[in-house]
Amino acid sequence: MSKRIPSKFLKQMSRDIDPDEIFLDSKNLPGFDKHHFEGRIEKPINHTAVWGVFLSFILVTFIFLIKITNLQIVNGEDFLKKSENNRLDHKPLFAMRGVIYDRNHVPLAWNSFDNEAGRMALIASETSTTTEKMPFPHRSYILSPGFGHTLGYVSYPKRDNRGFYYQELFVGKDGLEEYYNKILSGENGLQIVETDALGMTKEGSIVENPKNGVALTLGIDSRIQEKLHTTIRDTANNFGYMAGAGAIMDVMTGELLAMTSYPEYESATLSEGKDKKIIQGYNLDKRAVFLDRAVSGVYTPGSIIKPFMAIAGLAEGIITPEKQILSTGSISIQNPYYPNIKSVFNDWKAHGWVDMRRAIAVSSDVYFYEIGGGFEDQKGIGIANIEKYARMFGFGVPTGVDITDEKSGTIPSPAWKEKMFEDGVWRLGDTYHTVIGQYGFQTTLLQALRGIASIANDGTLVTPHFLKDPVQEFASSRIPIPSEYFQVAREGMRQAVKEGTVTGLGVGYVNVAGKTGTAEIDAGKKYINSWVVGFFPYEKPRYAFAVVMERGPHDNTIGGVYVMRQMLDWMHANTPEYLK
C-alpha cells in the first residue's frame, strides 16, 4: 500500500531551482575540460551580431554583382577585344612610297626589295645586332650626282627588340622627300596574325589593304641637273672654290629645269644609315655638306643687283636711260666732321661716260653710286627706295619654293644697322655700298633667279617650283612698274654679253642676256663669290639661270660665267630643244 506524500513537501520540492545549484563552478568539479567550455554556462548570440553578419553577406554579394555587371555588360565588348588581341597580332602592311620622276619620266627615287647590288636589302632593329629581310620596300635613288639636296632622304620604319613597330611609316627628312612626305607616304594596311596555344603563328585575313603613295613628276631634266652639278663641282675643285650652286627656271611658269648644290650627300647613304664612316665625314666636312646652297645659302649679291636698281631709278624718275654719268674710277665725298678728309668710293675701273644700258653692261659702280645715293647734281633714290624696290623684286623674303629650309636673306636699312651695330647711324657711304649689292646685302640663289626671271618676263614675279604633276597652282604677282623700264634692263644685259662683263656667254647658237657679280667677302677681302645671272633666248625669253661659285681666290677670273658657258655648250649638243 502506497504512502501519500504530504502536500507541504511537494511545495518545497517544486520551488525554482537556481542553475548554480545544478551546474556547479567547474573549478569546484574535477574532470571538466575547460578548453571545450565544459562546466560553463552557454550564453545566447546577440541579435545585433546576427544582423551584422547577415548584412555583411548581403553587401559582399551586392559588390560581386556590381563587378560582374561591369565586366560582362558595361565593358564586356572592350575586354572581349583585349582577350582576342592576346592571341591575334596586328601586322602592318607597308604602303609603297610614291615614285619621283623627272620630266622625261626617268625615275629619281623609287621602291624595291632589292638594292642596286642585287642583294636583298637588310635592316637591323635599333636594339638588336641581328639583321633580317626587310618587310617593307627599300628606297632607291638615282646614282647620278646632283640630286642629294633636291630629293632629300627618308627614315625607314623602326621597331623594338620584340618586333613591334614604333614608327610604322617612312618619314621624309630633307628635300622633296620631306616637303611632299604626306602625299608620298600613302597609308599602311593591316593584316591579322593568329597565335595558337603552342605559340605557332598563322596568318589571318587582311583587314585593310595599303594605299600606295602618289607618284610625283618634276619639271627637272635629270640630264641637265647632272651636268650642272658636275660642272660646278669640277670648277670648284679646279679653280679653288669651296662650293657652289646653280639653277635654271622657266621664266613664265617658275618650273625648275635644274637646281643643284655642291657639295652634296648621297640620299641612299643617309636613308640606310649604315655607313657610319661616310656619314661622319659629312658631319666633319668644313664645307657644310648638309647645306643646300640654292635655297639655304645666303650670299652677298654684288653687281647682279644693278639691273634692279636701274629699273628703280627709272620708276622713281630720277634719271633717264640716255643720261650719261662720268666714271673716272671713283667719286669722293666730303667728310662732314673733318673738312680736310674725303671719303673715296672706287669703281672697279674708269669707264668714262656711260648711260644706263652701258652702265649695266660694264657694271659701273660710280653710275650706281650716283643714282642710288646721289652725287652733286644727280639725285639718288635713297636707301628707303633701294629697300622698297629690292623687296618688290622678291629679295629679302622666301620665294615659296616647294622644298625645305628656304632662307630670307637681308636688305640693309637704317633700322637693320641700328639693330646690328653699336654705332647705328646710317651714312651716305652705306647707301653707296648697298646699291651695288655689297655691305650687309644678302640673297639666296633662288631669289636672284626669280628676280632675273621677272626682268625677262616683263614684270611677273613667279614662284619657283619642282612639281609638274600632280598639277598645283603656284602663286605669281605682277610688279607695278611700266614694261618699258624692264626693256631697258634687258637691253643692258644683252649688251653685257655682246661687249661687257659677260662676253663669255656670247655663243653663236642662242642669244643670251646676262649680268655678272663679284662680291668680296671676309674682313681681309681675300675671297670672292662669283655670280652670273641671265636668261635665254634674248628675243623671246624662255629660261632664266643663276650660278654662284662660293669663296674663291680674290684674283680668280674664272667662276660663274665659265660654269654657264660649259652648260650652254653642252645643252646645244645634247638638249638643243631648250635653247629654241
pLDDT digits (tens, 9 = 90+) for 73-83: 777 677 666 55
pLDDT digits (tens, 9 = 90+) for 327-337: 999 999 988 77
Residue 162's pLDDT is what? 77
Closest Cα partner for 409 from 373, 369, 448, 459? 448
Residue 460's pLDDT is what? 98
Q: Which residue ranges form the domains of the chain, and what is each CATH number? A: 87-218 (3.90.1310.10), 222-578 (3.40.710.10)
Q: Which of 42-51, 198-207, 214-223 has the lowest mean pLDDT?
A: 198-207
Range 424-446 average pLDDT: 95
Range 289-295 average pLDDT: 98
pLDDT digits (tens, 9 = 90+) for 503-558: 999 999 999 999 999 998 877 778 999 999 999 999 999 999 999 999 999 888 89
Which pairs count as long-range contacts for 448-451, CB under 8 Å and 24+ apart, including other chains? 448/301, 448/304, 448/531, 448/533, 448/546, 448/548, 449/247, 449/249, 449/533, 449/544, 449/545, 449/546, 450/249, 450/254, 450/394, 450/399, 451/308, 451/393, 451/394, 451/395
Residue 62's pLDDT is what? 80
Helix H or strand E encompassing 557: none
Residue 335's pLDDT is what? 81
CA–CA distance, 461 with 477 (Å, rounded to integer): 5
Which pairs count as long-range contacts for 58-64, CB under 8 Å and 24+ apart, including other chains? none
CA–CA distance, 565 with 559 (Å, rounded to integer): 10
DSSP 73: I
Q: What is the pTM of this model?
A: 0.82
pLDDT-derived band of residue 410, with 50, 70 and 90 as boundaries?
very high
For the chain, the average pLDDT equals: 88
Range 273-289 average pLDDT: 95
Range 265-271 average pLDDT: 96
- Whether the per-residue pLDDT at 280 is higher than 80: the answer is yes
Task: Cite the beta strand spans of 67-133 per DSSP E.
Answer: 88-93, 100-101, 107-112, 122-124, 131-133
Q: Are 170 and 185 in contact (CB under 8 A)?
A: yes
pLDDT digits (tens, 9 = 90+) for 16-73: 555 555 554 444 455 555 555 555 555 666 777 777 777 888 888 888 788 777 767 7
pLDDT digits (tens, 9 = 90+) for 443-481: 999 999 999 999 999 999 999 999 999 999 999 999 999
- Whether the per-residue pLDDT at 7 is higher than 60: the answer is no
Range 148-168 average pLDDT: 90
Closest Cα partner for 172 from 404, 397, 504, 1? 404
Taking residue 226's Cβ as centre, other Cβ atoms within 10 Å add up to 17
Residue 67's pLDDT is what? 79
Residue 54's pLDDT is what? 76
